[in-house]
């Protein structure tokens, strides 16, 4: 980053400080990962200079013959990776991918049925504080109180009662597999379109570690971050019959010009996800999550649903006499990064919570395995037991740096 160093010392120092945080800490935020240097190179490439609207071969600006090749390559890779009939890779984010599908298929005021935000769903699935909740008539389904699994009977009942135009599956904080087949049958029965937002789990789907929603859904939206471990952006897959509408939903529906530098990084993300190294990494992500969940459970935490099938777990911290925010902040003070998270039927406010959400993608990309997952579980427990003991927390922080920095990240970068 020599030019940056010369031109803007303040920002250069901030990037260096963040790199040190990433190198030394233990990253357990479920939506985070470490991207490869190739992704960073593409995101910082000259492709950022090109402006265009439209699609390959049908642009509103001249000079697109090179970027057209790149976008076409990205689209073909996305289709191949996920076995999809059509792909649109222009969405600037996961939220905009969702917004584009709604813009393509719905009119303001139409009914959508999605998962409750406080039980694992995403803001864009109908929360009242989000455009989705303001623009559409949003109805939400939740979890079964006993099993903490999606209440499919409730989904069916609500679908029959409210006749939504769109049924949405997918979540930001749900540790179990989703029954896409059942959801798609419910959608079919009430004449609704079926969309799956696989933003969190797309990498596990790409690697074949968990079942794919693609054969069951009219639309599949996603980010290329999180488990896909790539560019910071979104994309949409759909059946061929919806291709023209989805493309119009993105442009001119909700976006103007596209970010070619990010799009190229998405195209590389798809290539990387086809490698055997990536598939092995995703298998390890799930093994690490299961080991960490087991360790925390053995140490007296309650794991929501009793475990996990994917990269994340929800940990009920009440058995330790704590709130989510207390443990989140204490963990941050020792260099372990998680996020406070509502547990199902939580009585605490969203800013307090009774739980934390933990994901294992980033630690696994760093090279950590079950042994480290167990070690991290023990460190989390030690923090929980020493929440007000400053000296103990300082001692734990040193051990976190030892563990975090013993798995090198971006060697040679920035030096
Ligand atoms: N969908 C789900 C399920 C998510 O968890 C997220 C992000 O956390 C998004 C969509 C939105 O992605 P973005 O933050 O890129 O808008």
Dist. CA 233 → ligand 1 center (Å): 10
Which of 30, 90, 117, 124 most suits a substitution to test ligand 1, by most atoms within 8 Å of the C-beta?
124
Sign of CA dihedral 121, 122, 127, 132: negative
Residue 123, classified by CB atoms within 10 Å of its CB into exposed (0-12), middle (13-18) or buried (19+), is middle
Instruction: Look at residue 412 in the predicted model and tell me its pLDDT.
Output: 81
Say yes or no: CB of residue 262 within 6 Å of ligand 1: no
Residue nearest to atom 9 of ligand 1 (CA): 94
Say yes or no: CB of residue 170 within 6 Å of ligand 1: yes
Instruction: Look at residue 73 in the predicted model and tell me its pLDDT.
Output: 98
Residue nearest to atom 8 of ligand 1 (CA): 172
Residue nearest to atom 12 of ligand 1 (CA): 94
Interface ipTM > 0.90: yes
Dist. CA 199 → ligand 1 center (Å): 6
Which of 208, 204, 210 lies closest to 222 in space, CA to CA?
204
Q: Distance (Å, rounded) from C-alpha 4 to C-alpha 9?
A: 7
241 is in an annotated binding site: yes
Say yes or no: CB of residue 223 within 6 Å of ligand 1: yes
pTM of the complete model? 0.97
404 is in an annotated binding site: no
Dist. CA 221 → ligand 1 center (Å): 10
Q: Distance (Å, rounded) from C-alpha 118 to C-alpha 342?
A: 6
Instruction: Look at residue 237 in the predicted model and tell me its pLDDT.
Output: 98
* CB contact set of 269 (below 8 Å; sequence gap of 6+): 39, 224, 228, 229, 230, 231
123 is in an annotated binding site: yes
Dist. CA 173 → ligand 1 center (Å): 11
pLDDT, mean of each 10-residue run, the chain (415 residues): 94 96 97 97 98 97 97 98 98 98 98 97 96 97 98 98 98 98 98 98 98 98 98 98 98 97 98 98 98 98 98 98 98 98 97 98 98 98 97 98 95 78
Say yes or no: CB of residue 172 within 6 Å of ligand 1: yes
Dist. CA 96 → ligand 1 center (Å): 9
* Partners of residue 303 on adjacent β-strands: 315
Dist. CA 114 → ligand 1 center (Å): 14
Q: What atom in ligand 1 is closest to the CA of residue 125? A: 1
Q: Distance (Å, rounded) from C-alpha 38 to C-alpha 148?
A: 40
Dist. CA 94 → ligand 1 center (Å): 5
Cis check: omega of the bond before 63, within 30 degrees of 0: no
Say yes or no: CB of residue 74 within 6 Å of ligand 1: no
Instruction: Look at residue 415 in the predicted model and tell me its pLDDT.
Output: 66
Instruction: Look at residue 5 in the predicted model and tell me its pLDDT.
Output: 94
Instruction: Look at residue 413 in the predicted model and tell me its pLDDT.
Output: 79
Q: What are the tokens at 63?
A: 């000079």
Say yes or no: CB of residue 120 within 6 Å of ligand 1: no
């Amino acid at each position: 980053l020599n030019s940056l160093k010369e031109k803007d010392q303040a920002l250069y120092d901030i990037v260096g400080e963040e790199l040190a945080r990433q190198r030394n800490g233990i990253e357990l935020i479920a939506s985070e990962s470490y991207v490869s240097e190739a992704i960073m190179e593409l995101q910082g490439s000259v492709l950022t200079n090109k402006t265009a609207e439209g699609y390959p071969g049908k642009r509103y600006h001249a000079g697109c013959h090179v970027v057209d090749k790149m976008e076409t390559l990205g689209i073909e890779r996305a289709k191949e990776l996920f076995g999809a009939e059509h792909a649109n890779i222009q969405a600037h984010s996961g939220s905009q991918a969702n917004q584009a599908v709604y813009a393509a298929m719905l009119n303001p005021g139409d009914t959508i049925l999605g998962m409750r935000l406080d039980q694992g769903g995403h803001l864009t699935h109908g929360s009242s504080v989000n455009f989705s909740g303001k623009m559409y008539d949003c109805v939400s389904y939740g979890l079964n109180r006993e099993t903490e699994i999606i209440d499919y009977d409730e989904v069916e009942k609500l679908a029959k009662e409210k006749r939504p135009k769109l049924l949405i599956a997918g979540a930001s904080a749900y540790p179990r597999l989703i029954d896409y087949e059942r959801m798609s049958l419910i959608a079919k029965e009430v004449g609704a379109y079926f969309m799956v937002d696989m933003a969190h789990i797309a990498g596990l789907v790409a690697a074949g570690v968990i079942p794919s929603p693609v054969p069951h859904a009219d639309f599949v939206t996603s980010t290329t971050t999180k488990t896909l471990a790539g560019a910071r952006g979104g994309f949409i897959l759909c059946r061929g019959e919806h291709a023209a509408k989805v493309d119009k939903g993105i442009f001119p529906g909700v976006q103007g010009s596209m970010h070619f530098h990010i799009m190229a990084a998405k195209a590389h993300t798809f290539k990387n996800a086809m490698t055997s190294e990536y598939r092995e990494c995703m298998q390890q992500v799930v093994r690490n999550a299961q080991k960490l969940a087991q360790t925390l459970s053995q140490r007296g935490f309650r794991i929501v649903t009793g475990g996990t099938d994917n990269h994340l777990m929800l940990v009920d911290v009440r058995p330790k006499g704590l709130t989510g925010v207390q443990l989140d902040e204490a963990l941050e003070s020792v260099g372990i990064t998680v996020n406070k998270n509502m547990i199902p039927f939580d009585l605490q406010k969203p800013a307090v919570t009774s739980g934390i959400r933990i994901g294992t993608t980033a630690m696994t990309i760093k090279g950590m395995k079950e042994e480290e997952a167990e070690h991290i579980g023990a460190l989390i427990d030690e923090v929980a037991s020493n929440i007000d003991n400053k000296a103990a927390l300082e001692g734990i922080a040193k051990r976190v740096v030892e563990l975090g920095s013993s798995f090198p990240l971006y060697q040679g970068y920035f030096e």
